[in-house]
Amino acid sequence: MHHTKLPLAFAALLLFGSALPTPAPAALPAQVGGQPLPTLAPTIKLAGPAVVNIATRGTQTAPYNPFYDDPFFRRFFGAPAQPRERETSSLGSGVIVDAQRGYILTNHHVVAGADEIRVVLQDERSFTAKLVGSDERTDLAVIQIEAKGLKGLPLGDSDALEVGDFVVAIGNPFGLDHTVTSGIVSGLGRRGLNEENYEDFIQTDAAINPGNSGGALIDLRGNLVGINTAIISRSGGNMGIGFAIPVNMARNVMQQLIEHGAVERGLLGVTGQDVPPELADDLGVTGRGGALISAVSPGGGAEKAGVQAGDVIVALDGKTIAGMDELRNRIGLLRKGQKVRLDLVRDGRPVVLAATISAGPELAATGTAAPHKKLAGAALAEVDERSPYFGRLKGVMVVSVADDSNAARRARIAPGDLITAVNRKPVANLADLRRALAGLGDDAVFALSIRRGNMSLFITVP
């Protein structure tokens, strides 16, 4: 930690101040003008013990590089024959949400890849925690400690928040235990930080810095309303724009992680887009928002409920839908078999339907074999609601790559990649990909256009 030197005069006062006459400190009045002074101290005293410090240690393997397999490259450049590992560590925060069972809610990125998780309480007791479950797509995780005398935070209602409400952030920024900052709710329903994830952030100007991740955002009653997770910053420090995961989203994910160790995504079985403003009047949609359905998957919950292409979904279970991203987010957090009410606009008329959410298994469960010898070992799948590219891009998802697959490794494709073209010819689905590769011999060299996260890659398959 960097320490700033004290000015000489101030240091002298510290050294010799005891020899100087010191006036007795004036007591802070409890009231001014007959009115009690506002203070957050009682709320912080109640909530503080439920916020913990989390420290992790782990190892990280360097990404695979095909040059590592080349003896010539290793000889002249000293590249290792095997990917190297390095130790990692991180600091973050967490919130005790179940004092009896020792459950602590935090961010996925705080504990991801950790071999050891240490939790330090406000009273300085330290425990080794076990990972109960983690969900990268919502950036939430649940860990557990065995301890007595814990204090948990009551869960509030993030749907009741309004812009302008006062909130308090508690966490461990830069390792400074139980730092408290305050501010207001600056915005609601923020999205777009990572288009691959499920996002519905609370924006706040309460100072959030590195180390606050996983900490508590509370209201003035001491109820947990959000889990602090991210900031927008040019310097790495607070600039007054912080984000928290709403507790109502966290509650749903937490329950699934505790019960199943993972989150089972729900599916409605629709493809669509936001309602273009210029078409809103023609579609009979008043106001802003809504999800315009362009296709309905056969056999899905939407088709069985009677949803049709051209419908506009304006509300889910009575809560308005801002657009296709919000519909995807909310459906993805529901469970198989759950009943939902869909409010639609069809040909300018309101329609109400009841739909049943179908299962959304991991993509790997439905991946199909690769359509070319040089992609052998890769499982592929269509882009649907389970994909982070759903509704935005067309192509074929790489679901998984077998560990013993030399072919797929040499092709340099990875799980999560989206194949969008072969030899610059666009592919929108598995049928297009098969056609594009069908005329290529086993020894042919071809190029794949890949979308990997926010990067577009052009990979030549040797």
Instruction: Tell me the CATH number at 101.
Output: 2.40.10.10
Asked whether 283 and 338 are in contact (CB, 8 A), the reply is no
- Residue 277: domain span: 265-360
Cβ-count burial 236-247 (b if 16+ within 10 Å, e if not): eebeebbbbbbb
Same domain, 384 and 450: yes
Instruction: Tell me the CATH number at 421.
Output: 2.30.42.10
Rounded mean pLDDT, 5-17: 32
Of the residues 118, 144, 170, which one is the last residue of a structural domain? 144
Of the residues 360, 377, 411, which one is the last residue of a structural domain? 360
Which span out of 10-19, 352-361, 399-408 was modeled with the highest average pLDDT? Answer: 352-361
Counted domains in the chain: 4
pLDDT tens-digit readout, 311-330? 899 999 888 888 887 888 78
pLDDT tens-digit readout, 133-187? 888 888 899 999 999 999 999 999 988 999 999 999 998 877 777 888 989 999 8
Q: What is the pLDDT of residue 126?
A: 92
The whole-angstrom separation of Cα 325 and Cα 191 is: 9
Rounded mean pLDDT, 429-453: 81
SS (H, E, C) 216-243: EEECCCCCEEEEEEEECCCCCCCCCCEE
The whole-angstrom separation of Cα 275 and Cα 423 is: 34
In a domain, 27, yes or no: no
- Average model confidence (pLDDT) for the chain? 77
The whole-angstrom separation of Cα 100 and Cα 9 is: 52
- pLDDT category of residue 190 using cuts at 50, 70 and 90: confident
Same domain, 293 and 254: no
pLDDT tens-digit readout, 339-358? 999 999 888 888 999 998 87
In a domain, 353, yes or no: yes
In a domain, 168, yes or no: yes
In a domain, 424, yes or no: yes
Q: What is the pLDDT of residue 49?
A: 92
Q: What percent of the chain has pLDDT over 70?
A: 76
Which residue type does 19 have? A
The whole-angstrom separation of Cα 44 and Cα 54 is: 19
Q: Quick check: 277 pLDDT over 70?
A: yes
Of the residues 245, 260, 275, which one is the last residue of a structural domain? 260
Range name among 63-72, 225-234, 248-257 with the lowest pLDDT average: 63-72
The answer, as to whether pTM is greater than 0.85, is no
In a domain, 14, yes or no: no
Which DSSP state fits 261? S
- pLDDT category of residue 385 using cuts at 50, 70 and 90: low
Residues involved in catalysis: 109, 139, 213
The beta strands (E) that lie in 146-196 are given as 166-171, 179-190
| Long-range pairs of 39-48 with CB within 8 A, sequence gap ≥ 24 | 40/168, 40/180, 40/182, 40/220, 43/168, 43/218, 43/220, 43/221, 43/222, 44/168, 44/170, 44/180, 46/222, 47/153, 47/168, 47/170, 47/216, 47/218, 47/222, 48/122, 48/170, 48/178, 48/180
In a domain, 244, yes or no: yes
Q: What is the pLDDT of residue 71?
A: 55
Of 119, 283, 266, which is closest to residue 198 (Cα–Cα)? 266
Q: What is the pLDDT of residue 438?
A: 79
In a domain, 23, yes or no: no
pLDDT tens-digit readout, 81-122? 455 556 667 788 999 999 999 999 999 988 887 888 999 999
Same domain, 162 and 256: yes
Same domain, 255 and 272: no
- First-to-last alpha carbon distance for the chain, in angstroms, is 49
In a domain, 333, yes or no: yes
CA distances from 84 to 20, 61, 251, 411 (A): 61, 6, 38, 21
